[in-house]
Structure 1
Amino acid sequence: MSRIHDMGGRFGDGPVVPEDESVKFHADWHPRALALVLASGSLGKWNIDVSRHARECLAPKDYTAFSYYEKWMGGLATLLVDTGVVSRDELAGKSQGEISELAVKKLSADQVAGVLARGGPADRPSAVTPVFAVGDAVVTRAIAENTMVKGGHTRLPSYAAGAKGTILRYHGTHVLPDSNAHGLGEAPEPLYAVVFAADQLWQHPEHAGDEVVLDLWQSYLVPA
């Protein structure tokens, strides 16, 4: 059974309705939510994979009801409490918080542009040798689960489990989310762009000639 957030290709969730991409935010509080998440991340208490897993771990009833930025705020609330940045009472406004020792790490307005420009590159040097080359046929793991942590974070979507594809590009070695999301180290390994025919992923694709490209880590793949 797929986890609640793993919605790609799943029946019963209704049609995908494209939004106007010229509209960046749909409510006044959305940019504030984005800013708060980015500023909190600068405290260095978690990484991007930890934050993604926090959103995935929201209660199913909340995950299905929350909008995009509500999921971000729900995940952030969990992270702030779990890492001891604030207490539950402080977060709920039930107690008067004190100035944290983390205040020295606060992101000031003049730092924002530089921080956003740098981003968070995930490419790393690694001793792990790539075993696939462009053009190689591969098959993804039959079950899209984290093999290191039960119920843990992974970037292999369930709709692509057990599917046959072709290596389209080699991206170099990158941080492995399955490990990095759970405090087990970055464990960088080769990352590939893998192209799949639509009929390899779905029994009755709307357009059989379509292709889907996924970025997948080496441990997700075996030779076809």
Structure 2
Amino acid sequence: MDGIADMGGKQGYGRLPEQRDNLPFHHDWEPLAYIVAILAAEKGWWTFDSGRHAIERIPPKDYMRGSYYERTLVGLAALYVEHGLVSHEELEERAGGRGSFPLSTPIGVGNASRPHRPDFKVGDKVIVTGVSPTGHCRAPKYCHGKRGEIVGIAPKAHFPGEIAHKIEAAHEHTYHVRFEGSELWSEVEDGSSVVVDLFASYLNPLN
């Protein structure tokens, strides 16, 4: 999904706020986001992929003004509403009235795993597909259409474009793909590189 959550490589958002401690939580309510997610996972109402996609679907203005844990709770609440466990009206009533509790936009169509995706080995040259799907996608926008090299292979996992949308999901490898910094961003001149983990369906062999 080509949305506000895919911010890698983008400019114009200013510097990240400096955090001088290593504390995971800074408010008493923040651990509840993970507690609710764990409980929802036990019931089959939440997975990592559906949770990530629910956060991706948060409207840009709400996404940008929310903290990490606020986004997590909004995404969880959206999934609870979609499962019929609570209504948006009930959430707003508890939060302070109409317009007080944003939700993610409705879930759209998922994207199928490629049935004849190629298998790669370490050292193979690849190019990332340039398609921006409407559903959940784990290929960052900044590497779409870019050339890289396979430097490692991870165990198979459910394809996110399917499992995030409650579609029977294929298992496929993710590949550790190294990109030269200058391939991703033309102004890079220091010889640096970036390694991105990408599912097989996002890759084509570079002939």
TM-score (structure 2 length as normaliser):
0.81
CA shift for structure 1 position 167? 0.4
CA shift for structure 1 position 158? 0.5
Question: Equivalences for 1:1-224 in 2 at 5 Å?
Answer: 2-17=2-17, 19-20=19-20, 22-93=22-93, 131-143=119-131, 145-146=132-133, 151-205=134-188, 208-224=190-206
Q: Summarize deviations over 1:120-171 as a string: whole Å, max 9, x none.
A: xxxxxxx98862100111110123x23xxxx111000110111111101111
TM-score (structure 1 length as normaliser):
0.76
> Which residue of 2 is the match for residue 111 of structure 1?
none
Structure 2 gap ranges (5+): 95-114
- Hey, what's the Cα distance between the residues in 2 that align with 1:68 and 1:189? 29
Structure 1 gap ranges (5+): 95-126
User: What secondary structure does 2:43 align onto?
Assistant: coil
- Hey, what's the Cα distance between the residues in 2 that align with 1:129 and 1:3? 26
Q: Summarize deviations over 1:90-147 as a string: whole Å, max 9, x none.
A: 33447xxxxxxxxxxxxxxxxxxxxxxxxxxxxxxxx98862100111110123x23x
User: What secondary structure does 1:204 align onto?
Assistant: coil
- Hey, what's the Cα distance between the residues in 2 that align with 1:21 and 1:34? 20
Q: Across the two proteins, how many residue pairs are aligned to each other?
A: 186
User: What secondary structure does 1:42 align onto?
Assistant: helix
> Alpha carbon RMSD of aligned pairs, Å?
2.2
- Hey, what's the Cα distance between the residues in 2 that align with 1:180 and 1:34? 20
Percentage identity across aligned positions? 39
User: What secondary structure does 2:190 align onto?
Assistant: coil
- Hey, what's the Cα distance between the residues in 1 that align with 2:52 and 2:69? 13
For residue 153 of structure 2, what is the amino acid of its counterpart? Y
